Structure 1
Amino acid sequence: MTVCAPHGPQSTPQSLPRSAPPEDLRRPAFTVTVDGSYAAWLALGRGTDGWFPERWTLDGPEPYAVSLPGTQPEEPDSQLLPLTDGRVVIRRRVAERYALSLLYPTGPGTGELPLGAIECPYLCLLPPAPDGTSAYALVHGEEQTTLWRVHGGSGGPQLLATVPGRCEGGAWLDRSGRLLALDRELDGLTKAVVVDLGRGGETSPLLQITEKSNDRLLLAEPDSGLLLVRSDAPGVDRLGWGVLGSARPVRFPECLLPADAELTPFAARPGQGLAPEECAVAFRVDQGTGGDDWVGVWSAATKRLRRFPGPTGWLAGAGLWTASGELRLPFVTASVPCGLARVPVPVSMPESASVPVSVSMPVPDEPDDFSEPSAASAMSMVPVPVPRPPRPVPLQQAPL
């Protein structure tokens, strides 16, 4: 593995016009900062201009996008990570190495500041760090995974930890950016582990529901401690929920196992301190019909998954939730190249509730009725204590 030092700043002309990409060509990775101020993705130019980075500003009265093209179109596997200062980290594959740079608008052009490069088989950026200014990445080897800080430290890329096995995913468990959860595949099983950056990258177990189960962490909400997990401990792969640092059982609600759809969590309501059951989670609901993408809203308190159609052109699986209870969903259409639907979703909704969807620019009206799954029935696991800062504690093993 070779690490290359960064070079001086560069500037490239900003030349690609923005157009709404066709449905089948949208990039799935639309990444939002932790505070919801910015987002970034690869957008599609007109004609044969190809893919180029685009940064969205989301914290104003209306969203707006800024193109950040380089001297040539990007490869579709380039990865973007927005920072809260408005700059964007980009990861590009160049021959046998991965090059990292900072992109930022400079009047009519795009500024680029190289951050260095790492020669390795594969490198992926982790989700945005809580501080909003640091960037981390995983480097995959044959028998181990290394964790790197690629921006926010001193100099070029900095090796922080080495974890045996192959790690994927990535979820921050606290607001300080100290505890990072990863899904590690080792000896034929996948278990979530936690890397403590405050203890030199020390790694310890996070999820172990049974000895032979595959236990993955899908989403963590640091304020409430709510964890969304996927495990085959019940006999089939299912979604469940637990509470970080609690002795309460992991539960697998029936409403999170719909027969007609696949659920993927993408956002949780922040600010619900000490109230994990009131912390609502938003899901992408893939009904496999080839039609519009739907949004699901669930909380442990309501014990139901409520569905409603996403806005036309929704970048399915992307969005953020504000502490005030507003779910924000980015969308792109031929007439709205940068849109944000605002959905006020109360924590506890009555049976007859509808979800009004307002957007920053006119789009076709959406139905506001729900498709009601059957009532939830929770299957309990024995209590699984999870890490309490500063030192994580492994989850207890327990029978079903």
Structure 2
Amino acid sequence: MTACVIEDVEDAAPGGAVRRAGFAIAADGSYAARLTLGANEASHEEDGAGAAWFPERWTLDGPEPYAVPLPLDQPEEPDTEVLPLADGRVLIHRRVADRQAFSLLYPTGPVTGELPLGAVECAELSLLPPSPDGTRAYALAPGEHGATVWLVAGGAFGPEPVATVRGRCTGGVWLDGTGRLLALDRELDGVVKAVAVDLERGGEVSPLLQIAEGSNDRLLLADADSGLLLIRSDAPGHDRLGWGVLGSARPVRFPQCLRPADRTVTPFAVQPGQTLMPENCAVALRIDGPAGTWVGTWRPSGRRLHQQAAPEGWLAGTGLWSRDGVLQLPYATGTMPCGVARLEAPRDVPQDVPQDLPPDVRTELTTEPPQPEAADGNGSAPRATRLVRKPVPLQQAPLTGRTAAG
């Protein structure tokens, strides 16, 4: 399974406005879907006024990617959400007054077929990332006293609630390969902690991240094969990107190389297939800085952040890894409306050994010294009071010299 999330991609629209188009990739990497702005065939205007939003499905598991438009009689609203299923159908979520309506779209020759699934009576609701099983789809709806997880596709009788979680919940990351365990970032009493929700046990909630008592600990990505977790927490005193291993006795670590100056680093995909080897997983990151947006790759064992230019038209913050470590980045330009660029993760070599890079590829490295990493992630100047001396469960990962009981 490839850990992929729904991303909001910002594109510059005419007049300087910002348009947001969600791009979602199925958990098995077979299909993707997005809402795109294209020409309205019913209009003959050439100034862009006749453009309309419509769903588009991408096929990614063939020799070459290709897109299939899925327009209906009426254009979609810009806040419409889409999500691909493993069988090629596309779930569409529309807001209709105070109702959230769901349908499945599929190509049927020259037209688009639509299968209505039902609606949920609530003011707010958003789709969760594609389920690992590829057949079901879930959504998260906030409420007065908690959040409700809805099964909106794949059930027997239309949308149905499957879990209610106390507090304000955001995020959404799958922890297993079956779609049973869902991690949510829950806010209670002003503090955010990631929790695990068991959808097959009536929404049973258990703690997942508890790095420090008052810290805000959010889960960004998880890989079911290796157990690698990508975390954002302010436990070190400010927001930092860190990593841990699900179910292990290792502490959370906050590598200094994932904190480059004047840049924001956000992970969006983890290499699958690295069973029991989380340190070897390649992680893809979106890097935003004064010069624009580009791609980063990193492995926990390598202690290096490799930075490379993104392809033109990259749907920033989206992509997936193959099992052999090739990063696939979807992009769309005027001449190539559906493309996938492939990028092999650079090798992690000792710092005193020069890398043999092609002359047309410029790679920037942010490195760390290979010394024991402090619990606050600053793996440089060692400070005895900051080093983790005994591994403890992830749920109790310390930032100072606390040790596990016993």
Task: Give me the TM-score of the superposition, normalised by structure 1.
Answer: 0.86
Alpha-carbon distance between aligned partners in 2 of 1:384 and 1:140, rounded to the nearest angstrom: 34
Which residues of 2 match residues 264-343 of structure 1 at below 5 A? Answer: 264-289=266-291, 291=292, 293-343=293-343
Does the aligned pair in 2 maintain the 1:269–1:321 contact within 8 Å?
Answer: yes
Specify whether residues 133 and 353 from structure 1 end up closer, same or farther in structure 2 by C-alpha distance, changes over 3 A only: farther
Shift of 1:350: 6.4
Pairwise mapping of residues 191-206 of structure 1 onto structure 2 (< 5 A)? 191-206=193-208
- 1:31 is matched with which residue? 24
- Give, in angstroms, the shift of residue 26 of structure 1: 5.7
Please point out which of 370, 378, 393 is paired with 1:385. Answer: 393
Equivalent residues in 2 for 1:81-160, closer than 5 Å: 81-160=83-162
Change (3 A) 1:197 1:384: farther
**Is this contact kept in 1: 2:150–2:163, CA < 8 A?**
yes
- 1:21 deviates by 7.5
* Aligned equivalent of 1:3: none
Given residue 145 of structure 2, which amino acid in structure 1 is its aligned partner?
E
1:178 CA drift (Å): 1.3
Structure 2: distance between partners of 1:30 and 1:236: 30
Match in the other structure for 1:17: none
C-alpha RMSD of the superposition: 2.1
The 3-state SS of whatever aligns with 1:121 is: coil
Q: Structure 1 221/122 Cα, relative in aligned 2: closer, same or farther at 3 Å? A: same
Question: Take 2:130 and 2:240, find their aligned partners in 1: how far apart are those partners?
Answer: 26
Q: Secondary structure in 1 aligned to 2:330?
A: strand
1:358-393 C-alpha deviation (Å, 9 max, x unpaired): xxxxxxxx951112224267332664525xxxxxxx
Change (3 A) 1:107 1:206: same
Mapped contact 2:236–2:399 kept (Cα < 8 A): no
Partner of 2:364: 371
**What residue in structure 2 maps to residue 250 of structure 1?**
252
CA distance in 2: counterparts of 1:50 and 1:139, whole angstroms: 28
Residue 264 of structure 1 contacts residue 283 of structure 1 at CA under 8 Å; is this kept in 2?
yes
Larger displacement relative to structure 2 (22-31 or 265-274): 22-31
Deviation of 1:347 after TM superposition, in Å, equals 6.0
1:28, 1:316 within 8 Å by CA — same for their partners in 2? no
Q: Which residues of 2 match residues 159-238 of structure 1 at below 5 A?
A: 159-238=161-240
| Conserved 8 A contact 2:133-2:179 | yes
Unpaired segments of 5 or more residues in structure 2?
1-11, 40-47, 377-387, 401-406
Counterparts in 2 of 1:255 and 1:399: CA distance versus 1, 3 Å: closer
**Identity, % of aligned positions:** 62
Residue 346 of structure 1, CA deviation? 5.4
Q: 1:211 to 1:27 in 2, by over 3 A?
A: same
Q: Tell me, in whole angstroms, the C-alpha distance in 1 between the residues paired with 2:224 and 2:318.
A: 19
Distance 1:182 1:150, change over 3 A: same
**Conserved in 1, the CA contact under 8 Å of 2:375 and 2:399?**
no
Q: 1:43 to 1:190 in 2, by over 3 A?
A: same
Question: In structure 1, what is the Cα distance between the partners aligned to 2:229 and 2:255?
Answer: 14
Deviations 1:340-360 (A, max 9, x none): 10112256456644777xxxx
What are the ranges of 5 or more consecutive residues in structure 1 without an aligned counterpart? 1-19, 357-365, 387-394
Cα contact 1:122–1:139 (8 A) shared by 2: yes
Task: Determine the structure 2 residue equivalent to 1:344.
Answer: 344
Q: Distance in 2 between matches of 1:335 and 1:29?
A: 21
Question: What CA deviation, in whole Å up to 9, does each residue of 1:5-63 have, x standing for no partner?
Answer: xxxxxxxxxxxxxxx98797563421101111000001111232321100000011110
Q: Paired residue for 2:9? A: none
1:259 paired residue number: 261
Quick one: distance in 2 between partners of 1:90 and 1:264?
Answer: 26
1-side partners of 2:249 and 2:264: how far apart? 29
Whole-Å separation in 1 of the counterparts to 2:285 and 2:22: 16
SS of 1:45's equivalent in the other structure is strand
CA distance in 1, matches of 2:235, 2:346: 32
What is the alpha-carbon distance in structure 1 between the residues aligned to residue 349 and residue 90 of structure 2? 37
Contact 1:320 1:329 in 2 (8 A): yes
In structure 2, distance between residues paired with 1:332 and 1:26: 15
* SS of equivalent residue, structure 2 residue 58: strand
> Aligned pair in 2 of structure 1 residues 86, 345: CA closer, same or farther (>3 Å)?
same
Distance 1:183 1:176 in 2: 20
The SS at the match of 1:330 is strand
Q: What is the identity, as a one-letter code, of the residue corresponding to 2:323? A: A
CA distance in 2 between counterparts of 1:355 and 1:81 reads 38
TM-score w.r.t. structure 2 length? Answer: 0.85
Contact 1:21 1:44 in 2 (8 A): no
> What is the CA–CA distance in structure 2 between the aligned matches of 1:180 and 1:347, rounded to whole Å?
33
Partners of 1:119 and 1:374 lie apart in 2 by: 51
2 CA distance for matches of 1:186 and 1:148?
21
**Displacement, 1:143?**
2.1
Q: What is the CA–CA distance in structure 1 between the aligned matches of 2:182 and 2:112, rounded to whole Å?
A: 32
CA distance in structure 2 between the aligned counterparts of 1:76 and 1:140, rounded to whole angstroms: 21
